[in-house]
Amino acid sequence: MVVLSSQQATLNDLFPINTCKPTPTTVLKGVPEVDLSHPDAKTLIVNACIEFGFFKAVNHHVPLELMTNLENETLKFFKQTQLEKEKAGPPDPFGYGSKSIGTNGDIGWVEYLLLNTNPDVISPKSLHLLHQNPNKFRCAVEEYILAVKEVCCEVLELMADGLGIEERNVFSRLVRDERSDSCLRVNHYTACGEVEALSGGGNLIGFGEHTDPQIISVLRSNNTSGLQICLRDGVSWVSIPPDHTSFFITVGDSLQVMTNGGLKSVKHRVLTDTNMSRLSMIYFGGPPLNEKLAPLPSILMSKKEQSLYKEFTWREYKNAAYKSRLAYNRLSLFEKKSAAQ
């Protein structure tokens, strides 16, 4: 990590810190929680996604031991010297990255690992990372991906049921496809009390506000707070209490398109903690690169709606996302003008 200095100017030269102005923290009371085995799960999921764009999934049948195993193995990696960690970087976009998020100037108080989950998509940085570390690390990654993929697909099928779509695998088949462009990201936010004090008292931004471009994201973190979502009014931010035993599911841009805006992606961000480090593991359920995305005909017919979006492939949207800043509304590039007016 950077060497801290007592001089503000020197610190900013080393790392241009982004902060949020100190404001009273609002914790979201009544975080939408869904027991995936409950008979009404499909309805509860859709209602939560309409109102908030996210929910907490419990009774997901993924053993806590499996989740903590990956957490412990990745923490071993992050505790290495910076020189050792950087052997798995810079990201291509897979591999190890620190501070810089993407290639367009976004920065955050974060270091991360990004791993592709499709064995047919070979990333030299991912291979180096897995070969560099003991087999225990590789096994922890593979076991976690296998388990969380099932959670992702179960949720997507419940969503389809809740939306009244006859073909209940209309979303999940894209993630189950052997060409699926899903990925796993592990973010590590170190405690930053000294840096936060030097920044003038504002909260350091670990990961800036954004929506996820994939279908849905399945997030699990340790018991350190930091995750915030923006409410549907577009201005109010609320903190989400951590729960290391559960998964937080967020709607992505691709799902918003496929449901013609019925389920909207949620804008979210992560602020750092003064005294405790945060580690989060996010599985991004994505379609194959050549999959064409557009509002589902069954949804347009049932609601008698016009399509709000042009048809595009996941590759086209992914490329557009990588070329834009985090906070940019990427979907605006693919909206039909007649629908937006």
User: Could you list the active site residues?
Assistant: 278
DSSP code of 37?
T
Buried/exposed 246-284: b ≥16 CB within 10 Å, e otherwise: bbbbbbbbbbbbbbbbbbbbbbbbbbbbeeebbbbbbbb
Beta-sheet pairing, 106-116 with 203-210: unpaired
Tokens standing for 122?
Answer: 């070979």
Cis peptide before 90 (omega within 30 of 0): yes
CA dist 202 and 97 (Å) reads: 24
Name, in order, each residue with C-beta under 8 angstroms of 104's C-beta and a sequence gap of 6 or more.
Answer: 323, 324, 325
DSSP codes joined into one string, 77-98? HHTS-HHHHGGG-S-SSSEEEE
Contact yes or no for 108/206 (Cβ under 8 A): yes
Radius of gyration of the chain (CA): 20
Q: What SS3 state is found at 216? A: strand
CA neighbours closer than 13 Å in the CB half-sphere of residue 208: 16
Cα angle, residue 287 at apex, residues 283 and 292 outer, rounded to 5°? 155
Cis peptide before 93 (omega within 30 of 0): yes
